């Protein structure tokens, strides 16, 4: 009276497989959208930054992640010397450079 009858599922596995695939489809689509919107552009940006840092040369005018503007005076491996004013040089890692400026942007003081 209060308990309903339980019926066994049909033995057709074809319908069960397609419902499983349809259930996974939104998850797969979300991953694809996430890849093209977030992951791929970030990887492209990292690749461009790596190429810029490897192409640094003496005399380049750069901006660092800390906001310093200066001229590269020497490069030693992963470190470089940056002249930020007359007689003032700082040492920093190459990866701290965020932008290479056009020549003549940094004024001599």
pLDDT of residue 22: 86
- For residues 51 and 73, membership in a common domain is answered with no
- For residues 62 and 42, membership in a common domain is answered with no
Residue 108 CA to residue 61 CA, distance in Å, equals 11
pLDDT of residue 10: 60
Residue 94 CA to residue 74 CA, distance in Å, equals 11
pLDDT of residue 109: 57
Whole-model pTM? 0.69
pLDDT digits (tens), the chain, 109 positions: 677 777 766 655 555 778 888 889 999 999 999 999 999 999 999 999 999 999 999 999 999 999 999 999 999 999 999 999 999 999 999 999 999 999 988 887 5
What range does the domain containing 23 cover? 12-55
Does residue 1 belong to any structural domain of this protein?
no
């Amino acid at each position: 009276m209060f308990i309903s009858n339980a019926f066994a599922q049909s033995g057709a596995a074809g319908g069960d497989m397609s419902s499983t695939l349809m259930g996974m489809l939104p998850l797969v689509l979300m991953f694809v959208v996430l890849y093209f919107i977030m992951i791929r552009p970030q990887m492209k940006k990292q690749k461009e930054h790596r190429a810029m840092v490897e192409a640094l040369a003496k005399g380049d005018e750069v901006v660092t992640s800390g906001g310093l503007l200066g001229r590269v005076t020497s490069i030693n491996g992963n470190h470089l010397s940056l002249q930020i004013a007359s007689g003032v040089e700082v040492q920093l890692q190459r990866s701290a450079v965020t932008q290479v400026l056009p020549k003549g942007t940094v004024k001599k003081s």
